[in-house]
Amino acid sequence: MIVACLKLRSEPEDPAPDGSFRANTVLLYVGIVGNIGLLGYTLATDPSSLVYCAALLTLGLVLYAAEKVWSRRRGASS
C-alpha cells in the first residue's frame, strides 16, 4: 500500500482532487522502514510464519489467476 501511495504521488498528470488526503512523503518512508523492521523481527522470532505468509500469497495468486481465466471466458462467450 505504501509503495502504491508513493507511485501515485510521483504521477503529476493525475493530480489529487481538491480536499483529498495526501500522506506526507516522509511518513510513507518511515512506514516502509517500520515494515522492514517488523519483517526482520518476525523472521528472527518466528521463522515458521513464512509458511503462513507463503500460503496466503499463493492463495491470492490462485484466486487472481482464476478470476483472469473466468473473466476471459465470460468475455469470449458474449
pLDDT tens string, the chain, 78 residues long: the values are 888 888 877 766 666 666 667 778 899 999 999 999 998 998 899 989 889 989 999 999 999 999 999 988 877 665
Cα→Cα distances 66→25, 39, 55, 57, Å:
36, 29, 16, 14
SS3 70: helix
- What pLDDT does residue 77 have? 61
pLDDT at 44: 92
User: 48-70: buried (b, 16+ CB within 10 Å) or exposed (e) per residue?
Assistant: eeeeeeeeeeeeeeeeeeeeeee
24: left (phi over 0), alpha (psi -120 to 50) or beta: beta
pLDDT at residue number 22:
73
pTM here?
0.59
The pLDDT, as a whole number, for residue 23 is 77
Q: Tell me, what amino acid is at 56?
A: L
